[in-house]
Each structure stands twice: as C-alpha cells, then as structure tokens.
Chains A and B, each alone.
Chain A
Amino acid sequence: MNIELTGVSRVYGATRALSGVDLAVSDPVRVLALIGPSGGGKSTLLRLLGGLEVPDTGEIRFDSTLLGRGDNPVKSGTAMATGLSEHRKRNGFLFQAFNLFPHLTALENVALPLAKVHGLAPDAARERALACLDRFRLGDHAAKRPAELSGGQQQRVALARAMAHRPRLLILDEPTSALDPEMTAEVLEVIAELCRDGQEIVLSTHEMGFARAVADEVVFLADGEIVEWGRPESLFGAPKQAAVKGFLGRVMRW
C-alpha cells in the first residue's frame, strides 16, 4: 500500500482530533497498525483513509487517489466527491460497533452491497455472500438477523460484508473493542487469516500482541500527533519516546 499524509489536521468543534500529521507508508508494507491511547486520533485517521471524511488542512493520498485537500472543500458532483465515493466502494470498512443492518439477515447484509453497489445479479450476489459467510465460519447463521447473533458473530458478518467485494484496502476501526476475550480471539483469528492471505489492511487496535504479530509497520498516535512509528519489533521492543514507553508499560503490565 502507498499512503501519504502531509500536514493533515481534522478539527471537531473545539477538539483537534489530528494536528499536522505527516506519514508516508509504501510497499512492501501490507498491514499497518495504529496504536495509542483512546482519543489520540486513531479513528479519525482511519475515517480519513476510508474516505468517510476529509481533512480540514493538509493533503492525503492513497495509491494515486487524492482523498481530500484542506483548501478544497468537497462539494457533491465534483470530481473530488466522485473520487471519494469510488474509493469507498473499492475498499472495506469495519466499525467497532459492527453497524450491521438490523432488519436484514446476515446473508442480506453481505449481499446488499454486492447487488446494489457492485452490480452483481441477485443470485450471484447471494452465492458470493454465502461463500463469504462460509469462509468466516458463519454458514449456519446466514438466515439469522443480527439480534440473534453473538457480538463475535456479528463482527464476523460485518467482516464478510466488508470483504465480499474483494476490497483493495480493508480498514478496521478497533474491530474487537466491543467484544469479550473469547469473541475477541475468534475475530482476531479471522483477521490474522486475512493478513496471511496478503490482504492489505490498516487497523487500529488495543490488542498489542496482535498488532505486533500481524503488522508490518506500527504507528503510535497520541493527542492527534504521531509520536513514533516503525517496525513492530523496534516500536514494541525498544521504544524511543517516553510517551510510548509509558503507554506500553501501562497496557502490558497486566
């Protein structure tokens, strides 16, 4: 993956979620992990990368696609807006709270974008959705609605929905933060599988062991700024910044 951020800021009201972030990631990096304290800007950075929001200042590019430039507000119908919409269709986004559609079955949740966004015929969409649910070991639950599924199953359905169209980039926003340890394990297992299969992934997580195991590159974000970034063995093994050392010391202690 090729990601380039230059001076990216994002402000919500009086809160600076990101302030002047510079970041360059390029091949052969396939899996990028964002770690750091809550409220540090991880989610905002993922939402910008996913094309769900645009920066207030600075510029952000994924591969050759411009995902917003601060001095250039996005108006509907412009080339910029079309580009962002194409970017969203191409990629997959997984939310912390799953955000499945409660009135649709697991199968319908996965098949809906295939049929309506990616233009598959209804039968083909169902078939692909079913194959995708099978892959995440949800074949028996295809006809169930989200309320009938456990949190871990719901997140795997959401993962199937985000993966069914074979996304260029998969973005995972704290995929296991709403799950208990057992369900966390079942979801991380599936994500690790995707990593092994070569899927390009950017994720934020509080699971340090997992980040260390799967990531090619790790970014530590706090107070809207990148404090340190590098290979996982150096960032986890020998952190240079005091803030990173302190954070890792606290979260790894128990």
Chain B
Amino acid sequence: MSEYWEHWARALSDPLMQRALAVALLVGAAAPVIGTFLVQRRLALLGDGIGHVALTGVALGWLIGAGLGLAPGALAIPGAVVASVVGAVVIEVVRASGRTSGDLALALMFYGGIAGGAALIKVAGGTSATLVAYLFGSLATLSAADVVTTVALAALILAAALAGRWALFAAGADEPFARACGIPTRLWNVVGAALAALTVTLAMRVVGLLLVSALMIVPVAITQLGARSFSRTMASAALVGALAGASGLFVAYWYDLPPGATIVVLAIAVYAVAALAKPVVDKLRSATP
C-alpha cells in the first residue's frame, strides 16, 4: 500500500509532471466547451482542418523567427495562433457564402496546411522532425512560461465562450429563427470559428495538432449520450475532458507512453464503454418510474 502512495508522491513531486498536470487539466476542461458548439453545428471536423493550417503557422513562425535571428521556434506558437484564426475565419466565410461546400473547403485546408507546413519548415532550416513535437504534442517538455501562456489563453477562451454562450447556442440551434430575432448570426459563427482556432493552438501542446480535435469532440460525444440539455452536455464534457487529461497523463507517466495519444485513447475507450452501456441504462431508467 505504501509503495502505491510513493508512486503517486514521486510523480507529483516532479516539476515537469506538475506543469504537465496543470496544463492537461485546464486544456482538458476548456477544449470541450468550444467543442460543444462545434458538435452542435455538425462541424466536428473543423478543429482538424484548423489544426492542419496551424502547422503552416508553426513553420511560418520558425521562418520569421529565423529571419529575425530569434531562438529557434520562438515564434512557432504566435505563428500557429495567427494562421489558425485566419484559416478558421476564412473557412467560415467560404461556408457562409455558399460558394464552396463545407467539406470541400475543409479538405483544401487539410492538405494545404500540412503541405505548406512541411515545405516551409525545410526553408526555415528545420527538419520534419521539428514538426513532430507539434503534430503529437510535447506535454513532457513544458516550461514555466508555457504554463503561464496556457493559463492566460484558456482563461480568455473560457470567458469569451461563457459570455457568448446564449448567442452561440441560438445561432447553432436554428439559424433562420435566430436571424429573425435580430441576432447577427454570421458574426457569431465567425466568433465561434475564431474561438475554435484559439483552442486548437491551446491544445496543440497537450495532444498535438493531429489529435487536437479529439480533445474538443470526444468528451462531448461521451456526454451527449446521456445529457438532457445543452448546458449539462457542456458542463459534464468539461469535467470528462479534465479527468481524461489528468488520468491519461498518469497512465502515460507510469507506462512510459506518449501522453497526448494516451489521453485520446483513454477518452475514446470511455466513449465505447458509455455507448455500449447506454441501451442498458436507458432500459433500466424507463423501467423505474
């Protein structure tokens, strides 16, 4: 028994582990809040498209940083923020104008983003290995400054999402009706896309750009199975996301696995169990008056 607790104590006394835990908890809670709005609008894959564009932003950041003689990668995160926000707003405008269908616009972003990133990083003097940390996350190498950035960005995203939640909900639930209420739905859809882009760059450090959407979507997929309202779905998805982030991190620490992938596999396993258990639970619920 005492050996078990020593295990925990050792893990928690490691400063790297402390930082990783703080970031995993915070990002795990914030990402599904934005994800709930994406799932509501049936844009579950938007985060993936933005993630691919963010890769071009990372490479552009490297390139500009190298040109300015800064430390390698100093501008990678700002580059990702700018590229993903621009990409998200462009895709929303293209979608709203109806000129290109949503899935074609997403496909163009996916391929353009990855190809642009891989080509530019070479120009910037990096290698494709440089990109791997961004593609799969780098939770194990967080600095204290990274933690501060993450806290600030997560607080901004959560505050904006909570302040705008009724308008975002209304625009997503029934857009023509919302417009007839005088709600500027196009503006709110763009705000939603920009928040999704910020979330992508926030979650990039935890699970990496290839898995970023999973952190936004899978907790929502789990909780919409049983929730009876939008606000409950969102609140419980934030809780599930934080728990998945923390428990995935510990499992990865003890079994020496990549933390980002472990968090996502764990969350999907929970979804599978919940989806299988749902018919049984529903039957029991309807049997008891």
- Are these two chains actual partners, yes or no? no
| Chain A residues near B (Cβ < 8 Å) | none
| Chain B residues near A (Cβ < 8 Å) | none
